Protein backbone atom coordinates (compact mmCIF):
# COMPACT_ATOMS: atom_id res chain seq x y z
CA UNK A 1 0.00 0.00 0.00
CA UNK A 2 1.10 3.57 -0.57
CA UNK A 3 0.93 6.36 2.00
CA UNK A 4 -2.11 7.61 0.13
CA UNK A 5 -3.83 4.21 0.33
CA UNK A 6 -3.14 3.99 4.06
CA UNK A 7 -5.05 7.22 4.66
CA UNK A 8 -8.46 7.14 6.32
CA UNK A 9 -11.12 9.87 6.27
CA UNK A 10 -9.94 11.00 9.72
CA UNK A 11 -7.24 13.47 10.66
CA UNK A 12 -5.23 12.65 13.79
CA UNK A 13 -6.54 14.53 16.78
CA UNK A 14 -3.52 14.00 19.05
CA UNK A 15 -2.06 17.15 20.61
CA UNK A 16 0.61 18.92 18.54
CA UNK A 17 3.96 17.44 19.62
CA UNK A 18 2.42 14.19 20.92
CA UNK A 19 4.71 11.20 20.46
CA UNK A 20 1.81 9.27 18.94
CA UNK A 21 2.20 11.34 15.77
CA UNK A 22 5.73 10.02 15.27
CA UNK A 23 4.77 6.46 16.11
CA UNK A 24 1.95 6.70 13.59
CA UNK A 25 4.30 8.03 10.90
CA UNK A 26 7.00 5.45 11.66
CA UNK A 27 4.45 2.64 11.56
CA UNK A 28 3.00 3.77 8.23
CA UNK A 29 6.49 4.13 6.73
CA UNK A 30 7.25 0.58 7.86
CA UNK A 31 3.95 -0.64 6.34
CA UNK A 32 4.73 0.94 2.98
CA UNK A 33 8.30 -0.37 2.96
CA UNK A 34 7.31 -3.91 3.96
CA UNK A 35 4.13 -4.21 1.91
CA UNK A 36 1.76 -4.65 4.86
CA UNK A 37 -1.80 -4.53 3.62
CA UNK A 38 -5.24 -5.89 4.39
CA UNK A 39 -4.38 -9.36 3.09
CA UNK A 40 -1.39 -9.92 5.37
CA UNK A 41 -1.65 -7.65 8.40
CA UNK A 42 -3.97 -7.00 11.34
CA UNK A 43 -3.79 -4.32 14.02
CA UNK A 44 -5.23 -4.36 17.50
CA UNK A 45 -5.24 -1.60 20.10
CA UNK A 46 -6.24 -1.04 23.67
CA UNK A 47 -8.16 1.96 24.95
CA UNK A 48 -6.44 5.31 25.31
CA UNK A 49 -4.91 8.05 23.17
CA UNK A 50 -2.67 5.39 21.61
CA UNK A 51 -5.74 3.40 20.51
CA UNK A 52 -6.81 6.20 18.17
CA UNK A 53 -4.03 5.09 15.82
CA UNK A 54 -6.45 2.52 14.39
CA UNK A 55 -8.60 5.36 13.06
CA UNK A 56 -5.70 6.80 11.11
CA UNK A 57 -4.25 3.74 9.35
CA UNK A 58 -6.39 1.96 6.79
CA UNK A 59 -5.52 -1.59 7.81
CA UNK A 60 -7.82 -4.24 9.23
CA UNK A 61 -8.03 -3.52 12.92
CA UNK A 62 -9.82 -4.25 16.15
CA UNK A 63 -10.07 -2.00 19.20
CA UNK A 64 -10.98 -4.11 22.17
CA UNK A 65 -11.55 -3.46 25.84
CA UNK A 66 -9.07 -1.51 27.94
CA UNK A 67 -6.06 -3.76 28.63
CA UNK A 68 -7.30 -6.61 26.43
CA UNK A 69 -5.43 -5.99 23.18
CA UNK A 70 -3.01 -8.88 23.69
CA UNK A 71 -5.53 -11.73 24.01
CA UNK A 72 -7.25 -10.40 20.89
CA UNK A 73 -3.94 -10.17 19.02
CA UNK A 74 -3.00 -13.69 20.14
CA UNK A 75 -6.39 -15.00 19.02
CA UNK A 76 -6.01 -13.41 15.59
CA UNK A 77 -2.54 -14.91 15.21
CA UNK A 78 -3.78 -18.36 16.20
CA UNK A 79 -6.70 -18.16 13.77
CA UNK A 80 -4.48 -17.05 10.90
CA UNK A 81 -0.80 -17.44 11.57
CA UNK A 82 0.06 -16.06 8.10
CA UNK A 83 -0.74 -12.55 9.34
CA UNK A 84 1.61 -9.92 10.72
CA UNK A 85 -0.12 -9.00 13.96
CA UNK A 86 0.57 -5.74 15.79
CA UNK A 87 -0.83 -4.63 19.12
CA UNK A 88 -0.67 -0.91 19.88
CA UNK A 89 -1.01 -0.60 23.63
CA UNK A 90 -0.67 2.12 26.28
CA UNK A 91 1.40 1.83 29.44
CA UNK A 92 -1.71 2.05 31.62
CA UNK A 93 -3.62 -0.24 29.30
CA UNK A 94 -0.96 -2.93 28.93
CA UNK A 95 0.91 -2.79 32.24
CA UNK A 96 -2.05 -1.99 34.47
CA UNK A 97 -5.41 -3.32 33.30
CA UNK A 98 -3.70 -5.78 30.92
CA UNK A 99 -0.74 -6.76 33.10
CA UNK A 100 -1.78 -10.37 33.40
CA UNK A 101 -2.18 -10.70 29.62
CA UNK A 102 1.22 -9.11 29.09
CA UNK A 103 2.95 -11.68 31.30
CA UNK A 104 1.26 -14.69 29.77
CA UNK A 105 1.43 -13.56 26.12
CA UNK A 106 5.18 -13.12 26.60
CA UNK A 107 5.56 -16.41 28.44
CA UNK A 108 3.74 -18.32 25.72
CA UNK A 109 5.82 -16.61 23.01
CA UNK A 110 2.91 -15.72 20.76
CA UNK A 111 4.30 -14.49 17.46
CA UNK A 112 2.99 -10.93 17.75
CA UNK A 113 4.56 -7.47 17.93
CA UNK A 114 3.60 -5.24 20.82
CA UNK A 115 4.14 -1.51 20.38
CA UNK A 116 3.93 0.03 23.83
CA UNK A 117 3.10 3.75 23.54
CA UNK A 118 4.75 4.60 26.82
CA UNK A 119 3.96 8.12 28.01
CA UNK A 120 4.19 7.00 31.65
CA UNK A 121 0.64 8.04 32.50
CA UNK A 122 -3.01 7.67 31.62
CA UNK A 123 -3.33 10.35 28.96
CA UNK A 124 -6.85 9.96 27.58
CA UNK A 125 -8.36 10.32 31.04
CA UNK A 126 -6.26 13.48 31.49
CA UNK A 127 -3.07 12.52 33.24
CA UNK A 128 -3.40 10.10 36.16
CA UNK A 129 -0.52 7.85 37.29
CA UNK A 130 -0.07 4.55 35.50
CA UNK A 131 2.13 1.62 36.56
CA UNK A 132 4.90 3.25 34.51
CA UNK A 133 4.86 6.57 36.39
CA UNK A 134 8.04 7.14 38.31
CA UNK A 135 8.01 7.47 42.09
CA UNK A 136 7.52 11.03 43.27
CA UNK A 137 6.05 12.36 40.02
CA UNK A 138 3.16 14.75 40.49
CA UNK A 139 0.14 13.80 38.43
CA UNK A 140 -3.54 14.60 38.56
CA UNK A 141 -4.20 11.59 40.78
CA UNK A 142 -1.08 12.09 42.93
CA UNK A 143 -0.72 15.86 43.38
CA UNK A 144 1.73 15.33 46.25
CA UNK A 145 3.86 12.91 44.23
CA UNK A 146 3.42 9.26 43.20
CA UNK A 147 4.06 7.06 46.24
CA UNK A 148 4.54 3.89 44.12
CA UNK A 149 7.57 2.45 42.40
CA UNK A 150 7.05 1.96 38.65
CA UNK A 151 7.26 -1.31 36.78
CA UNK A 152 10.16 -1.70 34.39
CA UNK A 153 8.42 -3.02 31.26
CA UNK A 154 11.56 -4.42 29.64
CA UNK A 155 12.62 -6.30 32.75
CA UNK A 156 9.08 -7.53 33.15
CA UNK A 157 9.01 -8.76 29.56
CA UNK A 158 12.36 -10.54 29.84
CA UNK A 159 11.37 -12.15 33.13
CA UNK A 160 8.09 -13.30 31.57
CA UNK A 161 9.79 -15.00 28.62
CA UNK A 162 9.59 -12.45 25.78
CA UNK A 163 12.02 -13.28 22.99
CA UNK A 164 12.54 -9.81 21.47
CA UNK A 165 12.72 -6.88 23.85
CA UNK A 166 13.61 -3.38 22.70
CA UNK A 167 13.20 0.29 23.52
CA UNK A 168 12.82 3.25 21.16
CA UNK A 169 12.21 6.99 21.45
CA UNK A 170 9.33 8.26 19.32
CA UNK A 171 11.34 11.29 18.20
CA UNK A 172 13.83 9.07 16.33
CA UNK A 173 11.39 8.05 13.64
CA UNK A 174 13.71 6.21 11.23
CA UNK A 175 15.23 4.15 14.00
CA UNK A 176 11.76 3.37 15.30
CA UNK A 177 10.61 2.33 11.84
CA UNK A 178 13.55 -0.07 11.47
CA UNK A 179 12.93 -1.50 14.91
CA UNK A 180 9.25 -2.09 14.13
CA UNK A 181 10.27 -4.01 11.00
CA UNK A 182 12.87 -6.02 12.91
CA UNK A 183 10.42 -6.82 15.69
CA UNK A 184 7.85 -8.03 13.17
CA UNK A 185 10.43 -10.20 11.41
CA UNK A 186 11.32 -11.80 14.72
CA UNK A 187 9.55 -15.11 15.28
CA UNK A 188 7.94 -14.83 18.70
CA UNK A 189 6.72 -12.28 21.20
CA UNK A 190 8.32 -8.92 20.42
CA UNK A 191 7.98 -5.85 22.61
CA UNK A 192 9.09 -2.34 21.75
CA UNK A 193 8.75 0.05 24.67
CA UNK A 194 8.38 3.36 22.84
CA UNK A 195 9.22 6.36 25.01
CA UNK A 196 6.55 8.78 23.97
CA UNK A 197 6.16 12.24 25.52
CA UNK A 198 2.67 13.33 26.47
CA UNK A 199 3.13 17.04 25.92
CA UNK A 200 -0.09 17.97 27.71
CA UNK A 201 0.04 16.04 30.96
CA UNK A 202 3.61 14.85 31.46
CA UNK A 203 5.98 17.68 32.29
CA UNK A 204 8.78 15.30 33.35
CA UNK A 205 9.24 12.83 30.49
CA UNK A 206 9.52 15.49 27.79
CA UNK A 207 11.16 15.45 24.36
CA UNK A 208 14.05 17.47 25.83
CA UNK A 209 14.48 15.01 28.69
CA UNK A 210 14.62 12.03 26.33
CA UNK A 211 16.89 13.81 23.88
CA UNK A 212 19.34 14.66 26.64
CA UNK A 213 19.33 11.37 28.48
CA UNK A 214 18.93 8.52 25.97
CA UNK A 215 21.77 6.65 24.30
CA UNK A 216 21.94 3.64 21.98
CA UNK A 217 23.31 0.28 23.05
CA UNK A 218 26.59 -0.18 21.22
CA UNK A 219 28.08 -3.00 19.15
CA UNK A 220 29.83 -4.30 22.26
CA UNK A 221 26.46 -5.04 23.85
CA UNK A 222 25.36 -8.68 23.53
CA UNK A 223 21.55 -8.91 23.29
CA UNK A 224 21.62 -12.69 23.67
CA UNK A 225 22.92 -12.46 27.23
CA UNK A 226 19.76 -12.67 29.29
CA UNK A 227 21.37 -11.74 32.58
CA UNK A 228 22.98 -8.62 31.14
CA UNK A 229 19.74 -7.69 29.37
CA UNK A 230 17.85 -7.99 32.63
CA UNK A 231 20.30 -5.67 34.41
CA UNK A 232 20.21 -3.22 31.49
CA UNK A 233 16.44 -3.13 31.65
CA UNK A 234 16.70 -1.54 35.10
CA UNK A 235 19.01 1.24 33.91
CA UNK A 236 17.00 4.46 33.76
CA UNK A 237 18.34 7.80 34.91
CA UNK A 238 20.28 10.91 34.04
CA UNK A 239 22.24 10.33 30.81
CA UNK A 240 21.40 6.68 31.26
CA UNK A 241 18.34 5.66 29.29
CA UNK A 242 19.38 2.91 26.88
CA UNK A 243 17.66 2.46 23.52
CA UNK A 244 17.90 -0.43 21.06
CA UNK A 245 17.52 -4.19 21.29
CA UNK A 246 18.04 -5.34 24.87
CA UNK A 247 17.30 -9.02 24.40
CA UNK A 248 16.62 -11.52 21.65
CA UNK A 249 16.31 -15.25 21.65
CA UNK A 250 15.30 -17.87 19.09
CA UNK A 251 12.67 -20.15 20.57
CA UNK A 252 9.64 -21.98 19.10
CA UNK A 253 6.56 -19.78 19.02
CA UNK A 254 3.29 -20.87 20.54
CA UNK A 255 1.77 -21.11 17.08
CA UNK A 256 4.55 -23.47 15.94
CA UNK A 257 3.71 -25.73 18.84
CA UNK A 258 0.16 -26.42 17.67
CA UNK A 259 -0.14 -29.34 15.25
CA UNK A 260 -3.57 -28.04 14.22
CA UNK A 261 -1.99 -25.00 12.54
CA UNK A 262 1.44 -26.33 11.70
CA UNK A 263 0.51 -27.12 8.09
CA UNK A 264 -2.08 -24.50 7.35
CA UNK A 265 -3.81 -21.69 9.21
CA UNK A 266 -6.96 -22.53 11.11
CA UNK A 267 -9.05 -20.35 8.81
CA UNK A 268 -8.09 -22.53 5.82
CA UNK A 269 -9.68 -25.60 7.39
CA UNK A 270 -13.19 -26.62 6.39
CA UNK A 271 -15.40 -26.27 9.46
CA UNK A 272 -16.53 -29.69 10.74
CA UNK A 273 -20.20 -29.27 11.46
CA UNK A 274 -21.19 -32.78 12.51
CA UNK A 275 -21.72 -32.82 16.24
CA UNK A 276 -22.10 -29.06 16.23
CA UNK A 277 -25.50 -29.28 14.54
CA UNK A 278 -26.91 -31.19 17.51
CA UNK A 279 -25.31 -28.75 19.89
CA UNK A 280 -26.80 -25.76 18.07
CA UNK A 281 -30.24 -27.43 18.12
CA UNK A 282 -29.98 -27.80 21.85
CA UNK A 283 -29.67 -24.05 22.30
CA UNK A 284 -32.11 -22.80 19.65
C1 LIG B 1 -11.97 -1.28 32.25
C2 LIG B 1 -11.76 0.20 32.03
N3 LIG B 1 -11.22 0.93 33.02
C4 LIG B 1 -11.00 2.24 32.84
C5 LIG B 1 -11.34 2.84 31.65
C6 LIG B 1 -11.12 4.33 31.47
N7 LIG B 1 -9.96 4.62 30.67
C8 LIG B 1 -10.08 4.86 29.34
S9 LIG B 1 -8.64 5.29 28.65
C10 LIG B 1 -7.85 5.14 30.11
C11 LIG B 1 -6.40 5.47 30.25
C12 LIG B 1 -5.54 5.02 29.14
O13 LIG B 1 -4.20 5.24 29.48
P14 LIG B 1 -3.07 4.48 28.72
O15 LIG B 1 -3.41 3.06 28.56
O16 LIG B 1 -1.77 4.77 29.38
O17 LIG B 1 -3.15 5.11 27.27
P18 LIG B 1 -2.90 6.61 26.78
O19 LIG B 1 -4.21 7.32 26.86
O20 LIG B 1 -1.86 7.20 27.67
O21 LIG B 1 -2.44 6.41 25.37
C22 LIG B 1 -8.69 4.75 31.13
C23 LIG B 1 -8.31 4.54 32.55
C24 LIG B 1 -11.90 2.04 30.63
N25 LIG B 1 -12.21 2.53 29.44
N26 LIG B 1 -12.09 0.73 30.84
Show the ligand 1 pocket: residues with CB < 6 angstroms. 46-50, 66, 90-93, 97, 117, 119, 122-125, 130
| Mean per-residue pLDDT, 45-58 | 98
| Mean per-residue pLDDT, 92-117 | 98
Check residue 275 and give its pLDDT. 79
Give the nearest ligand 1 atom to 91 CA: 16
Angular region, 64: left φ>0, alpha ψ -120 to 50, beta rest: beta
What is the CATH number assigned to the segment(s) 3-282?
Answer: 3.40.50.970
For 12, 44, 225, 240, 246, the CA distances from 105, given in Å and listed in that order, are 30, 14, 22, 29, 19
Q: Is the pLDDT of residue 157 over 80?
A: yes
Check residue 273 and give its pLDDT. 76
| Mean per-residue pLDDT, 187-213 | 97
Q: Is the pLDDT of residue 195 over 80?
A: yes
| Mean per-residue pLDDT, 231-252 | 95
Give the nearest ligand 1 atom to 89 CA: 15
- Greatest C-alpha distance within the chain: 66
Q: What is the rounded distance in angstroms from the CA atom of residue 142 to the CA atom of residue 148?
A: 10
CA of 252 to the centre of ligand 1 (A): 33
107 alpha carbon, distance to own chain's centre: 15
Amino acid sequence: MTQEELKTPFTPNWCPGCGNLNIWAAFKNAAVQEGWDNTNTALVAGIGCHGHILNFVKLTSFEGLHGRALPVASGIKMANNRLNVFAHVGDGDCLGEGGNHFVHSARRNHDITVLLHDNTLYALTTGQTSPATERGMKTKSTPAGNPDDPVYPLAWAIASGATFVARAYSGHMDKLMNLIIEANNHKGFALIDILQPCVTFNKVCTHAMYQQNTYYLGDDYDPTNKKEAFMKAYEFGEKKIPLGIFYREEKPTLEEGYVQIAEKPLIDNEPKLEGLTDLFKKYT
